[in-house]
């Protein structure tokens, strides 16, 4: 489960980087920046879905903060 989450997070970061690259280097009529944004939003939604699913299944849990 944790490996899946890390892979999805890395894919989000790669999509972010490619979107930045396309924004800086592509010509005016290119739609590759928009496609990179769509992929990043989709991957982020999947990541959040996996986090919620893992939390409700008891596979992952937040760290307890010490009481002061």
Domain of 39 in residue numbering reads as 2-57
Number of domains in the chain: 1
On whether residue 12 sits in a domain, the answer given is yes
On whether residue 64 sits in a domain, the answer given is no
CA distance 15 to 19: 6
CA distance 41 to 31: 16
pLDDT of residue 45: 95
pLDDT of residue 62: 81
pLDDT block averages, 10 residues each, the chain of length 68: 88 92 82 90 93 88 70
On whether residue 66 sits in a domain, the answer given is no
On whether residue 19 sits in a domain, the answer given is yes
């Amino acid at each position: 489960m944790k490996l899946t989450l890390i892979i999805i997070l890395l894919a989000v970061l790669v999509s972010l980087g490619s979107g930045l690259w396309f924004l800086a280097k592509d010509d005016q009529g290119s739609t590759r920046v928009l496609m990179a944004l769509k992929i990043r939003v989709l991957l982020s939604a999947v990541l959040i879905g996996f986090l919620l699913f893992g939390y409700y299944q008891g596979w992952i849990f937040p760290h307890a903060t010490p009481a002061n």
